[in-house]
Amino acid sequence: MRHLLEIDDLSGAEISRVLDLSEVRDPPQVLAGKGMALVFEKPSARTRNSMEMAVVQLGGHPVYIQGDEVKMGVRETVDDVARTLASYHAAIGARVFEHEKVEGLAAANVAPVVNLLSDAAHPMQALADLLTLRQEWGGELAGRTVAYVGDANNVARSLALAAGLVGVKVRVGSPPGYQFSDTDLDRIRSVGTDVSVYDRPGEAVEGADAVYTDVWVSMGQEAEADERGRAFEGWSIDSELMAGVAPGGVFLHCLPAHRGDEVAAEVIDGVASRVWPQAANRMHAARG
Ligand code: CP
Ligand code: NVA
């Protein structure tokens, strides 16, 4: 049984196949008569809706479950929740605080588990990101460069791994204290990613074909908001910063976005922004 806990659970060839399947608008009804359990311990606009609609488009029935309803690890063990949900569903998706919880669901090995965002990873986002870039770049990803500027978080980690698996170079710029750890970089490099790290945003975006950012304060980090706000001062993606990208360079953001913090309105709402096709691609990539 296979699980998708982080994007490197797929090979580069498998990611390309998923992206090909994402373009199929009349998919085989592989989930006909089957269910998918979708457990959310955190809020979601894109992930819940894109996953639910992808399951419907594959002929299946999604069941949304609030984290508080099942209380994994509190009301009963993660393993018992996995066994219960697998009795009714063909697959389990989960959005959790601790990555160990999706690992726990997968360890039960009773249904394929898809990570719908944990503190460590966001693989479903990375698939949509690659799909968006592949469409932008005329079907060819290899040899391009994406610059991630901001918190080296779950989204950044999955993006860097995904990019490397399909031959996209990665430039990462983050302020001190919010950079990838050596362990992160080792793992990112272990899949073949050509990754370089910068401590100034201007250096990170230099010549990149795409610039990507995410929130400074992820879900669950709200108590650090003031401290993070100070650390990320000067790290907003504005049009001056975008002037340093390659001709035709685009802007991506997984959303939700905070205009005036990690990105200026002029960029996210400007001509280089591809955030709306990117958000729409969450559903197509999920179906793939
Ligand atoms: N990008 C993303 O995962 O958005 P949601 O948190 O709204 O699902
Ligand atoms: N890094 C953000 C991504 C939201 C889609 C978070 O974890 O809250």
The pLDDT confidence band at residue 74, using thresholds 50, 70 and 90, is very high
Tell me the C-alpha distance between 242 and 258, whole Å: 17
- Residue 27: is it exposed, middle or buried by C-beta count within 10 angstroms (0-12/13-18/19+)? middle
Task: Answer yes or no: is the C-beta of 154 below 6 A from any ligand 2 atom.
Answer: yes
- The answer to whether the predicted template modeling score (pTM) of the entire model surpasses 0.95 is yes
Task: Answer yes or no: is the C-beta of 153 below 6 A from any ligand 2 atom.
Answer: yes
Residue spans of alpha helices (H) in 168-233: 182-190, 201-205, 225-231
Q: Strands 61-66, 35-40: parallel, antiparallel or unpaired by DSSP?
A: parallel
The secondary structure of residue 1, as a DSSP letter, is -
The pLDDT confidence band at residue 92, using thresholds 50, 70 and 90, is very high
Task: Answer yes or no: is the C-beta of 214 below 6 A from any ligand 2 atom.
Answer: yes
How much is the pLDDT for 285?
99
The pLDDT confidence band at residue 242, using thresholds 50, 70 and 90, is very high
For tokens 């990019």, name the residue: 163
How much is the pLDDT for 209?
99
pLDDT tens track for 149-166: 999 999 999 999 999 999
Q: Which residues line ligand 1 (CB under 6 A)?
A: 44-47, 117, 125, 254-256
How much is the pLDDT for 137?
98
Which residue is closest in CA terms to ligand 1's atom 4?
46
Active site residue 95: yes
The secondary structure of residue 76, as a DSSP letter, is B
How much is the pLDDT for 141?
98
* Sheet of 113-115, strand order: 61-66, 35-40, 91-95, 113-115
Residue 282 has a CB neighbour count (10 Å cut-off) of 26
- The mean per-residue pLDDT over the stretch 220-242 comes to 98
How much is the pLDDT for 68?
98
pLDDT tens track for 265-275: 999 999 999 99
The dihedral of CA 136, 8, 5, 25: what is its sign? positive
Active site residue 3: no
* Closest to 252 (Cα-Cα) out of 231, 224, 272: 272
pLDDT tens track for 31-52: 999 999 999 999 999 999 999 9
Whether the ω angle into residue 256 lies within 30 degrees of 0, i.e. cis, is: yes
Q: What are phi and psi of 21, to 5 degrees?
A: -65, -30
Q: If you average pLDDT over every residue of the chain, what do you get?
A: 98
- The helix or strand, by DSSP H or E, that contains position 279, with its residue range, turns out to be helix 275-287
How much is the pLDDT for 8?
98
Both structure tokens of 54: 């992808």
How much is the pLDDT for 94?
99
* Closest to 40 (Cα-Cα) out of 80, 120, 94, 98: 94
How much is the pLDDT for 42?
98
- The mean per-residue pLDDT over the stretch 199-223 comes to 98
Which residue is closest in CA terms to ligand 2's atom 6?
218
The pLDDT confidence band at residue 1, using thresholds 50, 70 and 90, is very high
Share of the chain above pLDDT 70, in %: 100
- The helix or strand, by DSSP H or E, that contains position 95, with its residue range, turns out to be strand 91-95
Tell me the C-alpha distance between 250 and 77, whole Å: 44
The dihedral of CA 176, 226, 67, 92: what is its sign? negative
Residue 181 has a CB neighbour count (10 Å cut-off) of 9
